Amino acid sequence: MADITLTPPFTETMIRDLHAGDRVTVRGTLFGIRDATQIHLFDRDRHTRFDLSGHAVIHTAPNVRSVPIGPAHPAGYAPVSVGTTTSLRMERFTRPLLQRLGVRAIIGKGGLGADSLAAFGTFGGVYLAVVGGAAALETTWIERIDDVDLDDLNPESLWKFAVRDFGPLLVTMDTHGNDLHEVVRARARHNRTAVLAGLGVTS
Amino acid sequence: MAMILESAPVENIVRALYIRALKRLPEPVKAAIGGLERAETDATARTVLATMAENVRVAERDDGLLCQDTGIPLVTITIGRGVSFDGVDIGEAVAKGVRRATREHPLRSSVVHPITRANAHDSTGPGVPVIEFRFDPEPDFVRLELVPKGSGSENGSYLGMLLPADGLDGVKRFVIDAVLKAGGKVCPPTIVGVGLGGTSDVAMHLAKLAATRPLGTRCPDAAGAALESALSRAVNGLGIGPQGLGGDATAFAVQVELAATHITLNPVAVNIQCHSARRASATVTPAGVVWGD
Ligand code: SF4
């Protein structure tokens, strides 16, 4: 287990050096995506002017406020509440995110599925788990909304955030085939028998 | 002199309750996060619980939302004896209060039509806010409670029409399996609400009442309270842990509500409330308004 601060863009080596259980803080740039963003990018062949290669994306649809454009708000938006949504709904987009756009880290809550784990191994990517339902804290990690693309999908636009110290986040799926979410699920299934026995119930 | 409940103050109170509930976690929940953190044996889980505690402090300090999910607003109005009111007016005032909170704060509206998925952007729609009137023998008071029910934990809802032959063992097995199935998706540590008896819909509703009543309150029925104690100890042996990342703290508590049922029925329902176990209440008496968790 290690505590690491990383500034994107990440190299493949930086990502392959991470192991499940490590704690990572992201500094610099972070891209926000959600269901609609990826449906438009991958199912409807829309393009983004952003270069996501080597970057981290977070599964979010932030609460934002429109404000006059200025140095503190270059995109004309101020963050109100930036939280993380459940990742599993977006499972089928992990592969194209990594393969086509070169994304190296996905931040979300709850983990992703088996195909994502395989894609992380193949292309060199990790899943970073954030504490779900801690939006007040997460919002303080966002310095600014630097830019926005595909804004017709608002709030599911492609957001470019400037982040001071986004984390600590827990590496839960790595390039070595480790998946902490699955480890916990398997252990819980195993504990079921003892828990039921403690209640005087046969399984 | 009978107390009269007017709709104007109800509208203002509901507006304030929605915002307050989204920003301040009830004291018993805050205390429980701290308690679980101290007792936790898993290092990662301790970090996760510390982050949750910090989030509560930051929300208070910055007057920010605890979670980005503004939920479905559930409003319960308990009417004491001798209070006169116009139920239609009061229902409209509640909806107006929710709309005003959403537009004036502003809040993200998380409420959509179930077929068209259209969002009115005011946190209301057919049947929402969910309003329930209850009655209490105490004289001259009205209590308004608002729970913004998040979707992550609401998706952890299960109904089992068990057989009488399945007995209480079947009920216990059903609850443990529901918590297993929900895993980390419901943002643990949770309040696991269990509804027993009645008909299918009554069991589901009792589970919701159990999951959303104040943390630490006990089932008034002795057998129900005993089941709460046994299940509360048991679920934390599963090792799901905070956010499903492993650890002891899977649930703050299992809370039970029950109703009589039919000789051939054995309904059990589970509804889950997440660590953002938000609620706010206001009690109105002729002397004024008292705000609470
Ligand atoms: S389940 Fe609760 S804590 Fe988790 S995202 Fe939903 S409302 Fe927030």
CATH for B7-22+66-149+278-292, options being 3.30.1330, 3.40.50, 3.30.450, 1.10.357 = 3.30.1330
Residues of chain A contacting residue B182, judged by C-beta atoms under 8 Å apart: none
CB B150 near ligand 1, within 6 Å: yes
Mean pLDDT in chain A? 95
Q: What token pair was written down for B243?
A: 């956010």
3-state secondary structure of B220: coil
Q: Where are the domains of chain B?
A: 7-22+66-149+278-292, 151-273
pLDDT of residue A6: 96
Domain assignment present for residue A188? The answer is: yes
Domain assignment present for residue A203? The answer is: no
For the cut 90, the answer to whether the pLDDT of residue B117 exceeds it is: no
Q: Confidence band (pLDDT; 50, 70, 90) for B291?
A: very high
pLDDT of residue A63: 83
Distance CA B42, CA B45 (A): 5
Is the Cβ pair B65, A129 closer than 8 Å?
A: no
Span from the CA of B152 to the centroid of ligand 1 (angstroms) = 5
Distance CA B190, CA B273 (A): 5
- The 10 Å Cβ neighbour count of residue A66 is 11
Q: Confidence band (pLDDT; 50, 70, 90) for A155?
A: confident
pLDDT of residue A61: 78
**Does the N-terminal peptide bond of residue A68 adopt cis geometry, omega within 30 degrees of 0?**
no
Read off the pTM: 0.94
pLDDT, tens digit (0-9, with 9 covering 90-100), for B119-139: 899 999 999 999 999 999 999
Q: Confidence band (pLDDT; 50, 70, 90) for A62?
A: confident
Residues of chain B contacting residue A136, judged by C-beta atoms under 8 Å apart: 55-56, 58-59, 62, 64-66
Mean pLDDT in chain B? 96
Sign of CA dihedral B16, B22, B27, B29: positive
Q: What token pair was written down for B203?
A: 């069991």
pLDDT, tens digit (0-9, with 9 covering 90-100), for B224-273: 999 999 999 999 999 999 999 999 999 999 999 999 999 999 999 999 99
pLDDT, tens digit (0-9, with 9 covering 90-100), for B52-104: 999 999 999 999 999 989 999 999 999 999 999 999 999 999 999 999 999 99
What average pLDDT score do residues B8-17 get? 98
Distance CA A134, CA B152 (A): 13
What average pLDDT score do residues A160-172 get? 95
For the cut 80, the answer to whether the pLDDT of residue A67 exceeds it is: yes
Q: Which amino acid is at B241?
A: G
- Which of A81, A130, A166 is best to mutate for the B interface (most B CBs within 10 A)? A81
For the cut 90, the answer to whether the pLDDT of residue A80 exceeds it is: no
Chain A: closest CA distance from residue B276 (Å): 7
Could you tell me if B50 lies within 8 Å of chain A, comparing CB atoms? no
What average pLDDT score do residues B18-36 get? 98
Span from the CA of A132 to the centroid of ligand 1 (angstroms) = 7
- The 10 Å Cβ neighbour count of residue B109 is 18
Q: What is the ipTM of this complex?
A: 0.92
Span from the CA of B41 to the centroid of ligand 1 (angstroms) = 24
pLDDT of residue B108: 87
Nearest CA to ligand 1 atom 1: B152
Identify the CA nearest to A106 among candidates A162, A26, A163, A183.
Answer: A26
Span from the CA of B273 to the centroid of ligand 1 (angstroms) = 9
DSSP conformation letters of chain A: --EEEE-SSPPHHHHHT--TT-EEEEEEEEEEE-HHHHIIIIIS----SS--TT-EEEE---EEEE---BTTBTTSEEEEE----BSGGGGGGHHHHHHTT---EEEEBS---HHHHHHHHHHT-EEEE--TT-HHHHHHHEEEEEEEESGGGTTSSEEEEEEEEEEEEEEEE-TTS-BHHHHHHHHHHHHHHHHHHHTT---
For the cut 90, the answer to whether the pLDDT of residue B26 exceeds it is: yes
Strand partners, A107: A58, A128
Is the Cβ pair B58, A200 closer than 8 Å?
A: no
Span from the CA of A53 to the centroid of ligand 1 (angstroms) = 31
Q: What is the domain range of residue A140?
A: 3-198
Chain A: closest CA distance from residue B97 (Å): 21
**What values do phi and psi take at A176, rounded to 5?**
-95, 10
Is the Cβ pair A192, B59 closer than 8 Å?
A: no
CB B154 near ligand 1, within 6 Å: no
Could you tell me if A82 lies within 8 Å of chain B, comparing CB atoms? yes
What average pLDDT score do residues A31-42 get? 96
For the cut 70, the answer to whether the pLDDT of residue B178 exceeds it is: yes
Residues of chain A contacting residue B230, judged by C-beta atoms under 8 Å apart: 199
Could you tell me if A154 lies within 8 Å of chain B, comparing CB atoms? no
Contacting B residues, span 105-164, partner chain A, CB-CB under 8 Å: 106-108, 150, 152
Contacting A residues, span 33-52, partner chain B, CB-CB under 8 Å: none
- Which of B47, B68, B238 is best to mutate for the A interface (most A CBs within 10 A)? B68
- β-strands A105-108, A126-129 pairing: parallel
Nearest CA to ligand 1 atom 7: B150
Strand partners, B192: B254, B272
Is the Cβ pair A131, B243 closer than 8 Å?
A: yes
pLDDT of residue B1: 61
For the cut 70, the answer to whether the pLDDT of residue A96 exceeds it is: yes
Number of domains in chain A: 1
CB B187 near ligand 1, within 6 Å: yes
Chain A: closest CA distance from residue B280 (Å): 18
The CATH number covering residue A8 comes to 3.20.130.10
Distance CA A82, CA A136 (A): 8
Which of B58, B234, B275 has its CB closest to that of A136?
B58
Contacting B residues, span 221-280, partner chain A, CB-CB under 8 Å: 230-231, 233-235, 237-246, 274-276
Give the Cα-Cα-Cα angle B53, B145, B293 (nearest 5 degrees). Answer: 35
Could you tell me if A200 lies within 8 Å of chain B, comparing CB atoms? yes
Structural element, H or E, at residue B271: strand B266-273
Could you tell me if B217 lies within 8 Å of chain A, comparing CB atoms? no
3-state secondary structure of B222: helix
